[in-house]
A and B are shown apart, each in its own frame.
Chain A
Amino acid sequence: MIFDSYEAYRAASFTPKVCILGSGPAGTTIARKLGAAGIPVVVLEAGSREFSDESQDFYRGTTVGDFYFDLDITRLRFMGGSSNHWAGWCRVLDKEDFEPKAWVPDTGWPIRRTDIEPYLPEVRDILDLPAFRPDMPISDHIRWVQLIKSPAVRFAEKFGDELDKARNIAVVLNTCVTELAGDGKRVTGARLWSNGQDAGSISADYFIVCTGGLENSRLLLWSNQRSNGGVVPNATALGRYWMEHPTFEGGNAILADYNAFEVDAVNEAFFSPTLAAMERLQIMNFGIRLIETPYPGVKSLIADLACTAPDIAEWMSSKLSQRLRCAAQLYVAWEQAPLASNQIELSKTDVDHTGVPRIELHWKKSELERRTLLEGLRLFGTTLIEKNLGRVRIADWISNGQDYPTNDETAGHHHMGGTRMGTDIGKSVVDANCKVHGMDNLYVGGSSVFCTSGQCNPTTTITALSCRLGDHLSKVITV
Chain B
Amino acid sequence: MSFFIKKMSRRAIVQALIALPALSLFRKLPDADASYASHPDQSRADPNEIVEVNGWILKRSDLA
Contact = CB atoms under 8 A, between A and B. Distances in A.
Interface residues of A, number: 31
Contact of A307 (B21, B50, B62): B21
A65 B21 CA distance: 43
Contacts, number: 89
Contacts of A321: 10-11, 14
B22 A310 contact: yes
A384 B59 CA distance: 11
Contact of A308 (B15, B50, B54): B54
A307 B64 contact: no
Interface in B1-50: 10-11, 14-15, 17-22, 26-28, 36, 50
Contacts of B54: 304, 307-308, 393
A392 B11 contact: no
B13 to A, nearest CB: 8
Interface size grouping (class) on chain B: 20 to 34
Contacts of B59: 385
Contacts of B55: 251, 393-396, 399
Interface string A313-333: 110010011000000000000
B62 A303 contact: no
A396 B52 CA distance: 12
A305 B15 CA distance: 12
Contact of B14 (A302, A391, A395): A302
A308 B53 contact: yes
Interface of B: 10-11, 14-15, 17-22, 26-28, 36, 50, 52-59, 62-64
Interface in A200-232: none
Contact of A310 (B18, B50, B56): B18
Given A303-B17, A309-B63, A310-B22, A382 B57 contact: yes
Contact of A317 (B11, B21, B26, B53): B11
A169 interface: no
13 contacts: A251-B55, A302-B14, A302-B18, A303-B18, A305-B56, A308-B28, A308-B53, A309-B53, A309-B62, A310-B22, A321-B11, A381-B57, A394-B55
A378 interface: yes
B17 A378 contact: no
A311 interface: yes
Given A310-B64, A321-B11, A391-B62, 18 more contacts: A251-B55, A299-B10, A303-B18, A304-B54, A305-B56, A308-B54, A308-B63, A311-B64, A313-B18, A377-B57, A378-B50, A378-B52, A381-B50, A391-B56, A391-B58, A392-B56, A393-B54, A395-B55
